[in-house]
Structures are given as structure tokens and as C-alpha cells.
Amino acid sequence: MWNSAVPAGLRYDPVANPTGARPTVFDVSRNVYGVDRDTGFALRPWDNVGVQYGLGALNSGAISVKQFLDLNQDIGGFDNDANYIASRTKGDRGAIKRTYQAGMSLYGGGGLATIPVLDGGNYNDTSGYHYAWYHFAVRERMRQANGTADNHVMWRGPAQSEANWAAMVKWVKAVKADTSNASQIEKVRRNKPADVVDGCWDTSTTPPKFIAEPTTFSSQPDSKCNTLYPSYAFPRYVAGGPLQANIIACHLKAVDMGDYAVAFTSAEMDRLRSIFPKGVCDWSRKGVKQTAGVSWASFGPSPDNLVFDVTDTREGHHDDHDD
């Protein structure tokens, strides 16, 4: 989508102006993703090869084997101009690596490893914008990167700005007052105020009442907070992916009947293997080119923390999806 301030003559058009400026989410960050020398387009990390959409729905009995196969056969992908295409999309390997390095996909380490984190974002799952699952994904990314998420506290419900700030100020002051030789993360963990704990805000009372209980990822009414604020899943989680949702491109494995709680006929099995000729996602492995974030990453010309030279193109873009 273009802003009217950009003259029409400068805008990309696949026929009339194929070298024009492109307003895609990838081209706006081409210094991070890299540029394809042949087209001048930004390289794209987006990838859905091997993803078994609807796997969880199949195993729960919500959809049939035929619906599962139809979905995965027809899901397709996107071309460079964001048009739907019949084939799935394979991300450029160099762009994927730089997505991780640059923090375009939030890394749970770095600064998040040692500071107090109070996640008090608004709940809006009923409108589908502030995805509740992502808050849990961030916690899991921190746990994966650092071995702990004890410095992460989650409050759900309408944002309570005064309470949020008061809790954070109390926590930070307690950490600052600790002049011991303990590590920063240990100071954060042991100086967390006793009343700064997971929970949610019940707005049926005036003023809203805070319910202190561990926050868990669930759409079921299995706790007070999940009853008030259910957290709904996302497509790759239903496809068997991890809650941290940080695998951009998966390594592949052969189709394994152990993944399915329902029976396939021989014809359905043949069709499944034809849909995934190179295999399906192996979510037990970290993602293709998945790596840690680089603090203060440079993409040139500064040599400090340089992770990418803008003259590089198509780094590691091979046919083997497991590369």
C-alpha cells in the first residue's frame, strides 16, 4: 500500500515500472534482509515448507483426514508481490539468519536475560489484534535462551498503568539496592517483590481486583485468569510447532505415522507423501539458520558488530531445505 505522497511514477509496477520503489515489509528493511541482484527486491525470510497446517485439529477429530489433506495441498504460498501462488514459499537462508541476528524476530536473550520484565499488555483476543499467545511465546523464548524466565512476570487484562509502573519501580529499586557481588540476573530474581507475581485483573469489580495465580497458555476455563482471558493458539502451534514460535524455517523429516492420532488409508498416505515430497517439519530441532541475536548489530558500513555486507545476495539459498 502506498502513501499518496509517493508519486505514482516512482512506484513499483510489475509491468509499467518493474524497478520502481517497493512498499513491502521486506523491502523497507532490505539493509537487513539483503537484496536479490537479479530483481533488486529484498530477500525474504518467510517460509512454510513442510508445515502441516491443521495437524492438531486432525488429531483432535475437529477435521477429517480429507480436510487435512485438502488444506495442506491447497495452502500454497506468496510470491514477491504478495500474490497467492500454488507452491509453498521457501525463505532465503541468509535472510533467515539475519532475521535472527538483527532481532527482527525477538530474541529472548541479550538484555532480556538480566532485567526485570513486567508484561502487562492489554488483552484483545476477541478482536484478534493483541495476540495473547505472543506474551507466552516471549516468556518461552527467554526460558529457551537463558535457562530461566524467573525475571518475567505476566499480568493479563486491561492495562493498569499506575499499578504497572508502581510494581516495576519497586522491583528496580530493590535490585539497585542490592550491592552484593551476585550476578545481575540473581539480583533480579531474589529481589522481586513478593507481591509482583503472575495474575490478571478482574474488571467486574470497582476498582478492578487483581487475581494472583500462575499464568498458563490455555483457551480452556482451567483457571480463573484463563476463564476471564483465554489465550487462543496460532497456525504453527496447531501444526505441531513450539509455543515460542521462533522457528522461521523448519528442518524436515520423513512422514511419520506416529504423528497422527487417526488412521490413513494407503491412498491417503500416498497423497500425504505427494504433498510433502521432501518431508514435514521436525519441530524437535531448532530452526534452519536459527541463531542468537547480535547486540547493536551493524549491517554496514560500520565494521562494529558487522553481521552482513549489503553487497551479499542469496546467501545459502540452496535446494536442500535442511541446509
Write out the H or E segment, with its range, that includes residue 72. helix 65-74
Is residue 126 pLDDT above 90, yes or no?
no
Q: What is the pLDDT of residues 51-87, one digit of tens each?
A: 999 999 999 999 999 999 999 999 999 999 999 999 9
Per-residue pLDDT at 305: 83
pTM score: 0.91
The overall average pLDDT reported for the chain is 92
Backbone angles phi, psi at 139, to 5 degrees: -60, -45
Q: Residue ranges per domain, the chain?
A: 24-105+246-323, 110-238
Name 255's Cβ contacts closer than 8 Å, sequence gap at least 6: 269, 272, 273, 276, 279, 280
Handedness of CA 134, 138, 144, 148 (dihedral sign): negative
Residue 293 and residue 76: Cα distance in Å, rounded? Answer: 30
| Residue with grid cell 480452556, as numbered in its chain | 220
CB 265 within 8 A of CB 83: no
Per-residue pLDDT at 16: 94
Is residue 303 pLDDT above 90, yes or no?
no
CB 191 within 8 A of CB 157: no
- Per-residue DSSP letters for 82-123? S-EESSPP---HHHHHHHHHHTSS--SSGGGGTS-EEE-PPP
Where residue 317 falls among pLDDT bands split at 50, 70, 90?
Answer: very low
Per-residue pLDDT at 201: 95
Share of the chain above pLDDT 90, in %: 84
